[in-house]
Amino acid sequence: MAAKTYSLDFDGYWPAGAVAGLPASSGVYCVYACTHDARSRTVSLKRLLYIGEAVNIRDRVTAHERWDDWLRRLNFGEELCFNAALISPQADRERAEAAMIFKHKPPCNTQCVDTFRFDTTTIWTSGKNALLNPQFTVSPTPASLGLAGLGTFSQPRW
């Protein structure tokens, strides 16, 4: 594998009651705690809760097994909302998702939070990307390379 850069242009935001509007396409999606003003058709994002990837974002979010986990993270008056960025093929989608999780560490993600197993990856986010870093680079972690506990390699020991 080699270093790669991905540009993710996020579209959204869809409140929980409008997930049928999510793209039925391959991509990365984010789940947020937000407040929604239906009159002005605006959302105010509070916290990033989860990052995922899917062949079909709409189908994945609609049938996701983590809805209860996400809902438990909401405060009074908040609801879930979503955004999405299209990306394929699968290998690129999974790598971009892993980089996003590793960088942002959403509380409902359990994988990729502490280790990054891919080569150096740069992500540029644009569009509806509030609460996401607009540009960042992550590198493989020692644990993902099987080097955990070996220390640094700057000084040889003789």
The domains of the chain are located at 4-144
Per-residue confidence of the chain (158 residues) as pLDDT tens digits? 699 999 999 998 999 999 999 999 999 999 999 998 888 888 899 999 999 999 999 999 999 999 999 999 999 999 999 999 999 999 999 999 999 999 999 999 999 999 999 999 999 999 999 999 999 999 999 876 655 444 443 333 33
pLDDT of residue 1: 65
Residue 108, SS3 per DSSP? coil
Q: What is the largest CA-CA distance in the chain?
A: 71
SS3 25: coil
CATH class of 4-144: alpha beta
| Two structure tokens written together for 154 | 């700057």
d(CA 1, CA 20): 36
Query: Measured between alpha carbons, how far is 118 from 144 in angstroms, rounded to an integer?
Result: 8
Predicted local confidence at residue 55, as pLDDT = 98
Residue 9's Cβ-side half-sphere holds a number of Cα atoms within 13 Å equal to: 0
Copy the structure tokens of residue 33.
């705690």
What is the helix, strand, coil percentage profile of the chain, to 5?
25, 35, 40
